[in-house]
Structure 1
């Protein structure tokens, strides 16, 4: 999760979200149901807690910012407020009984006030029965109840539910912003740029920075590109001796292809005189030499081949066959099939 603990931080990361919520609170025009949609790591759950604190805070700053010091703010931060409920998937999905339990809870009088807030995390994972139960709940809102649905896949949610929610879109964090966040958390200035291209999530980025597998992966991908410049046999041997031993799972292969794509992008940036946008900072001298030995047109063709390989990987093509074909395509420039 990104560090969205105060409204000042939110203003920096999600200015449009802040402006909308601030205006709604100040004008007393909060919707009875919100859908927070956006990529993982953009602060949806944290912002739902911020909104809850704003509604329950006994001494809000400027009328909308939670003070973080009152009894209610502290209880919400610790997850112990009786009138705030969070529903998360039970296993792979959110089930009907979970929504029914929520409805039963909300049929009771508020413990300390009439206001109640509930947040549904991964709302797209509701079963059909759970979604239908929630729909009935949304159709009969009380003035003091606020629903917040969180999702990375808004298209998976019933249109009838979407139509009853105010949709709030969370934009992904810029790589530049994430780079600075990573550096602030102790990641080296030379590692942070690559990580920021592979994830939009600060916690994931921090894990990658300390992951020995990821460090080795970068080295293997650079070596693969280096042998690609030689002959097909050496490249295929490199796949067997290095790549397949390291990149075993589908997710790992996908990340390896992303790293290869970043090398190709760096070479193109170098050719265009935009070295400041390159991310493989530890390999800059070698990449500058590689950039002199290829053309922009060939790099564009190779990037297209890698992107096509990623697509075929997600379509469940055999990974070994996929990589062998990709290596031959990157070397010979033939059509990747």
Structure 2
């Protein structure tokens, strides 16, 4: 995620930023925060933003100036009073928390303030968590802790009770799409990849994956053959679809890719052309939208959703696709 200014992050996590902004304005920052939410929702970016606001020499209200020495040092990852703890291997060890505590017994190098961020806080060993607990129970006035986790249910209740928890919501599709476009992902891939996951990192990975580009083509080709009803759809399923989408996860994604084609036709029929995901197929889809009734498109969408459900019941993928093709060719 490249976003980092207050305004950028406000667009992605408005509730979290509003709460933090109000706390700054009223001088009521908590001594310990727990940021919890799925991967790719901006927890680390917001923790570093909060750190810049905390240490900024000339803030604009609650927003960091981004240009003073402190802001620049946090950006470059070398501010002496900001400490980031990450798992050493698979876990955060007791010695990591103890060395953090030792650091905090010293006076702040730049000011009296100190701030530490513990990434993947749920990966603390029991000993590390207990060491941290003592630390959280006796906070210094100018010390702030920010714990980050994707697995809040694995955190000790005693730690949770000493932190103010802020929940990071999955990113809106429009925000992920915008992020991908910023990263120079072509628009037709950005629109689709943004809808396949709620993490901008995963969406970026997907949009740059040759497999995904090929998957999109296999799905479009099958759709076109189904629409022509020239008897080639079953051959296509056997020779291209089944061999290409070999794993269950890939098959599930394939159904989503196909589903969006039919949803696009529905969007065109109800006058929402701007919502079309396969924008590069727009003239063709507009043509098809005239030829098929809205009721039929809704039935086809239902058929794909049913097939998606049945995929989880270990039905043969080829049999499932052949039944789906029959259903999609009707009407």
Interval of TM-score (by shorter of Structure 1 and Structure 2): 0.7 to 0.9
Determine if contact 1:228/1:327 at 8 Å carries over to the other structure.
Answer: no
CA distance in 1, matches of 2:127, 2:113: 27
CA distance in 2, matches of 1:124, 1:197: 28
2:111 is aligned to 113
Runs of 5+ unmatched residues, structure 2: none
Compared CA separation, residues 91 and 327, structure 1 to 2 (3 A): farther
More off after superposition, 182-191 vs 214-223: 182-191
2:305 is aligned to 304
CA-CA distance at 1:218 after TM superposition:
0.2
Does 2:92 match 1:94?
A: yes
CA-CA distance at 1:219 after TM superposition:
0.7
CA distance in 1, matches of 2:317, 2:91: 34
1:22 is aligned to 21
2:47 is aligned to 48
Write out aligned runs for 1:142-161 (5 A).
142-161=140-159
Does 2:326 match 1:327?
A: no
Does 2:199 match 1:198?
A: no
1:72 is aligned to 70
Determine if contact 2:255/2:304 at 8 Å carries over to the other structure.
Answer: no
TM-score, normalised with respect to structure 1: 0.80
Compared CA separation, residues 247 and 296, structure 1 to 2 (3 A): closer
CA distance in 1, matches of 2:104, 2:254: 48
Indicate the RMSD between aligned Cα atoms, in angstroms.
3.2
CA distance in 2, matches of 1:135, 1:84: 19
Determine if contact 2:37/2:150 at 8 Å carries over to the other structure.
Answer: yes
Write out aligned runs for 1:158-307 (5 A).
158-226=156-224, 238-248=236-246, 251-288=249-286, 292-293=291-292, 295-307=296-308
CA distance in 1, matches of 2:129, 2:255: 37
Residues paired across the two proteins, number:
323
CA distance in 2, matches of 1:134, 1:309: 47
CA distance in 2, matches of 1:302, 1:127: 48
Compared CA separation, residues 254 and 93, structure 1 to 2 (3 A): farther
Compared CA separation, residues 146 and 197, structure 1 to 2 (3 A): same
What do the CA deviations read for 1:235-274 (whole angstroms, capped 9, x no partner)? 6654553235434556544433332332343243344443
Write out aligned runs for 1:54-65 (5 A).
54-62=53-61, 64-65=62-63
TM-score, normalised with respect to structure 2: 0.81
Does 2:31 match 1:37?
A: no
Compared CA separation, residues 239 and 118, structure 1 to 2 (3 A): farther
CA-CA distance at 1:9 after TM superposition:
2.1
